[in-house]
Structure 1
Amino acid sequence: MAEAEVRDAAPSDAPEIARIQLSTWRSAYADLLPAAVLDELDAAETEAQWHRTLTEGPASVLVATEGTWLVGFCAAGPAPEPETASADGSVPDDAAEVALVSSLLVEPRWGRRGHGGRLLGAMAQKMTGLGATRGITWVPEADTASVSFFRGVGWDPDGTVRTLDAGGRPVRELRLSGSLDLRFR
């Protein structure tokens, strides 16, 4: 394997981050999302959104590289209070110390090489440095690979679910939560 690294994303990474997001969604979520939704994803708009995130925040973004290739990314930041609330709307005592991992994607052709773990581990350290003690993420229930990945680092479903409308098809998401002191199995 070529040398693998994780580094802070730069604005110049926006095109590759957008490409990875779109190609990964189109591959990994082909059975989960309607084809029309995936077909309507706009590369230029996605790239512009990532460029704004990289230049204006609020998320921190890390990228994984293997050799000269950018192969994945992770975006996270302080969790908005509504994201931390339980199903009944109550906010946990540690809400101010919760990081939201909003995206963690590794392009499928680079999968199973440790990039996801390196990205999440580096982001957990970064969020811990900003005062977070716990992380949360939302994962489609049908995305068993992602659920398994997060469970493998000690993040488990916490009982909170939400259903999103994906082009007329409901997508049920589980919230997974765990310590930022990750335990890789």
Structure 2
Amino acid sequence: MSGPSADVSVRVAWADDAPAIADLQLRAWREMYAGVVPADALPTDVAAATEAWRASFQAPKDARNRVLVALERNRVVGFAMTTPASDPDCDPVADAELMELTVDPAERGRGHGSRLLQAAAETMQSDRFSRAVLWAMASDDALREFLTGAGWAPDTAHRELDLDGEGTTLVKQIRLHTALS
């Protein structure tokens, strides 16, 4: 006999999830980019982020844009966003991009990331993609370790993002990929 299990799940996000996703995203970014991006360069306006999320739910640019949320009971503890890949060397019919995979820093290590990643892979497969890519900060060893443990691998692509347009806030990223079969 097994013990009680947590009430956890992953589902497609609803417009009503926008405030929780926006709040989680901004909080997670503060931790993720600490020491990489100046704190004052990160967005802090949850209301504006909420409206941006609501707008994206109401008018997605592509029918294959998906947002999934990880729940603990009825509380959003993570989210994933998938879309057709837009890199010049990717095929937007065959290649998907996992644009973001975010779990509440206080909820990490409880399986939410694994559930989100699996649900995102299944969603991309359902949308008939055969490969997925994800851009990760080169310094984010934890994310890379998590993804490689799930079968993702670097594909030699890399880039440097100029976040402030002045060359003072640069973020180096590497691309990872996986087959969706």
- Superposed pair shares fold, TM > 0.5: yes
| 2:36 alignment partner AA | L
Is the 1:34–1:166 Cα contact (8 Å) retained in structure 2? no
Query: Are 2:62 and 1:65 equivalent residues in the alignment?
Result: no
Aligned length: 171
Cα deviation code 1:144-165 (max 9, x no counterpart): 1111111111111111101011
Letter in 1 for 2:30: R
Question: Cα 1:111–1:102, aligned 2, differ >3 Å: closer, same or farther?
Answer: same
**Is the aligned partner of 1:43 residue 2:36?**
no
Using the TM superposition, give the Cα deviation of residue 96 of structure 1 relative to its aligned residue in structure 2, in angstroms.
2.1
Partner residue of 2:10 out of 3, 6, 15: 6
**Of 4, 17, 20, which aligns to 2:21?**
17
Percent identity of equivalent pairs: 37
Q: What 5-or-longer segments of structure 1 have no aligned partner?
A: 86-90
Which residue does 1:79 correspond to in 2?
85
Tell me, yes or no, if the aligned pair for 1:104 and 1:116 is still in contact at 8 Å. yes
Q: Name the SS of the counterpart of 1:142 in structure 2.
A: coil
Please name the residue that 1:88 is paired with.
Answer: none
> TM-score normalised to the size of structure 1?
0.87
Q: CA deviation at 1:79?
A: 1.2
Alignment match, 1:52: 55
How many Å separate the matches in 1 of 2:20 and 2:32? 17
Give the one of 102, 106, 109 matched to 1:109.
Answer: 106
Q: CA RMSD in A?
A: 1.5
Aligned to 1:145: 142
TM-score for both structures, normalised by structure 2? 0.88
- Structure that is richer in helix per residue: 1
1:52 Cα deviation after fit: 1.5
- Quote the Cα distance in structure 1 between the aligned partners of 2:158 and 2:95: 17
Report how far residue 139 of structure 1 moved.
0.5
C-alpha change, 1:95 and 1:11, in structure 2 (3 Å) is: closer
